[in-house]
Structure 1
Amino acid sequence: MEGMSSLLEQLYFGEIRPEEKIIPKNPEYKLLNSEISNFKEKLLTSLTEDEVELLEKIYDLLGKSSSIYSTEVFIYGFKMGVQIVTEAYADRK
């Protein structure tokens, strides 16, 4: 496997970015995002420049909040996975 970096090396060098690879398969996800986009476009046509700026700030903050939450969920899930594997190997006696 020379020339290929290990998973740990990829993780260390920031080459693994799950958020760029995960595409929800749930059809409702795509539908919800489409609805959000449609409602946002309708709303933008009726807002002043200041209101549009305010709405964009809200979207930015929601994105940051969602990112923090997703990070915490990932960390929790990863730790739980490690605990499950540890428990599975501990019970192999």
Structure 2
Amino acid sequence: MKSILEALYRGQLHPEEIIVPTHPEYRPLSRQLGTMTEKWRKELSDEMFRELEKYSDLCVSVNSLHVEAAFVHGFKLGANMIIEIMDKREELVPNEAAGVSL
């Protein structure tokens, strides 16, 4: 198995393509969205439906940028937590100076 860093360097990591939400509300909401889209496709004129699709595409773009920012923020937060933990690790490991031996 390749390392994560090697896969990242080679452009082989694409988590956004394989993530499927497991929240119990995801699939019912997704089906509801599809049903509403089909309803509007039938009820609206072609021009109005194209405008609705443009609006939907803009919403998806905005949401994607927000998700990307949340991912980056979460990753940085997690990395900083690890740095903080590793920086304080000597406080967690007993040593002879403290009068404690392993």
Q: TM-score, normalization: structure 2?
A: 0.82
| Structure 1 residue runs without a partner (length 5+) | none
Rg (Cα) greater in structure: 2
| Structure 2 residue runs without a partner (length 5+) | 91-102
Q: TM-score, normalization: structure 1?
A: 0.89
Deviations 1:35-93 (A, max 9, x none): 11111111110111101110111111111111111100100000001011111111111
The alignment yields a C-alpha RMSD, in angstroms, of 1.1
Give the whole-Å Cα distance in 1 for the aligned partners of 2:10 and 2:53. 32
Structure 1 residue runs of 4 or more that deviate by more than 3 Å after TM superposition:
none
How many corresponding residue pairs?
A: 90
**How far off its partner does 1:6 sit?**
2.3
Aligned sequence identity (%): 36
